[in-house]
Copies of this chain bind each other. A is one copy, B any other.
Amino acid sequence: MKFVIDMMGGDHGVETTIGAVKEFLKLHDDVYFYCVGNVECLSPLEGLDRVTIVPSIEVLKMDVDPMEAMHKKDSSLNIAMETYLKENCDCLVSAGSTGALVSEGVFKIKRMAGIKRPCLVSPFPTVIKGKNFVCADLGANTENTSENLLQFAKITSIFYRIAYNCENPKVYLLNNGTEEEKGNNLMKETYQLLKNDPSINFKGNMEAREPLNGECDVLITDGFTGNIFLKSTEGACKVMSNLIKRSFKTNFMTKIGYLFAKKGFKDMSETMDYKSTGGAMLLGVNGLLIKAHGSSDVRTFVSSLKIGYRLSKNDIINKIKENL
């Protein structure tokens, strides 16, 4: 299996990616890495078995304009895309700019036949142990039509079926109320399209406080709202987790309390750990492109590599194409 990694992307660049590649090499002996980046920075990888260093010069900023990114031909992301095609790779992973990954992905790897726009799809944990749902679109687009959302629902259902081995995934539309007539114009239109498409197991609207409870398999929304949903949820979980850590430090008794409660606290943290499910996939292009979290640490980046590994093993791209 051949991975190509944009080693320079993300808030922490090589500090994260080098450690992650090394760790992943130990986990799997059937993986080969093309590591794209500044040669000096990548020296810790020199001489390693199953690693080829591919030199690049420029590093795209996290807030680069996607159109500008396309013109920076020597960037690590651009060279990674070219390496993906040239070496016939199975998976590309980058923690860099989402906008750049989407625009380069569409431009270089191309959309699947019939797909108007790709969408960013990511798994979320739920209170049911081991159960994830996926949400699309998490921000590949900032404006969507109801036809786009219908297509996201179709392709994400196929993705969920294959990736999670679930015969008939339950699809919900993220909305401001559960009744059919709820929502802004986009959601009202999308509701009708989803309801009338027999290929989708559409179950109706879902309010934003519900998805983590585990009833939903596929949650459909536009890219802007998806971004708000993802980050609100992340932010609230992080705040709750920090608050409880802080409150345990109040005095001697609470510190003792923490020692006893540690196990329980760890269970909770693991259930809602976004880092362990980390990595969004750009669904709808002719290749497996994984967007790792911009603030990825080694563990999060390894999670993204794991997702890539599992999906590649599953031959996900070809299976989606067959099913479209």
Q: Give the interface of A toward B (CB within 8 A).
A: 63, 65, 127, 139, 142-143, 174, 176-177, 179, 181, 183-185, 187, 207-213, 223-225, 227-244, 246-248, 250, 253-254, 256-265, 267-268, 271-272
- Chain B: minimal CB distance from A213 (Å): 7
Decide: B142 and A176 in contact? CB cutoff 8 A.
yes
Q: A176-B223, A257-B261, A260-B261 are in contact. List 11 more A-B contacts (CB 8 A).
A: A176-B224, A176-B228, A208-B227, A209-B232, A212-B239, A224-B225, A228-B228, A233-B233, A243-B267, A246-B268, A250-B264
Decide: A183 and B260 in contact? CB cutoff 8 A.
no
Most B C-beta atoms less than 10 A away, residue of A224, A229, A256: A224
Chain B residues near A250: list those with CB within 8 A: 263-264, 267
Decide: B225 and A228 in contact? CB cutoff 8 A.
yes
CA distance A181 to B65 in the complex (A): 9
Chain B residues near A244: list those with CB within 8 A: 244, 264-265, 268
Given A240-B240, A268-B247, also A212-B235 (CB < 8 A): yes
Most B C-beta atoms less than 10 A away, residue of A176, A211, A241, A246: A176
Majority secondary structure of chain A interface residues (helix, strand, loop or mixed): helix
Chain B residues near A240: list those with CB within 8 A: 236-237, 240-241, 268, 272
Decide: A176 and B227 in contact? CB cutoff 8 A.
yes
A127's partner among B233, B243, B262, B272 (CB-CB below 8 A) is B243
CA distance A262 to B65 in the complex (A): 49
- Chain B: minimal CB distance from A86 (Å): 32
- Chain B: minimal CB distance from A8 (Å): 20
Decide: A235 and B208 in contact? CB cutoff 8 A.
yes
CA distance A236 to B223 in the complex (A): 20
Q: Can you list 22 A-B pairs with a CB-CB distance of less than 8 A?
A: A174-B228, A184-B224, A208-B235, A209-B238, A212-B236, A213-B239, A228-B228, A233-B235, A235-B236, A236-B240, A239-B272, A240-B272, A243-B267, A243-B268, A247-B265, A250-B267, A253-B263, A257-B257, A257-B259, A257-B261, A257-B262, A258-B260
Decide: A247 and B229 in contact? CB cutoff 8 A.
no
Which residue of B is nearest A259, CB measured?
Answer: B257
Which residue of B is nearest A261, CB measured?
Answer: B257
Decide: B231 and A233 in contact? CB cutoff 8 A.
no
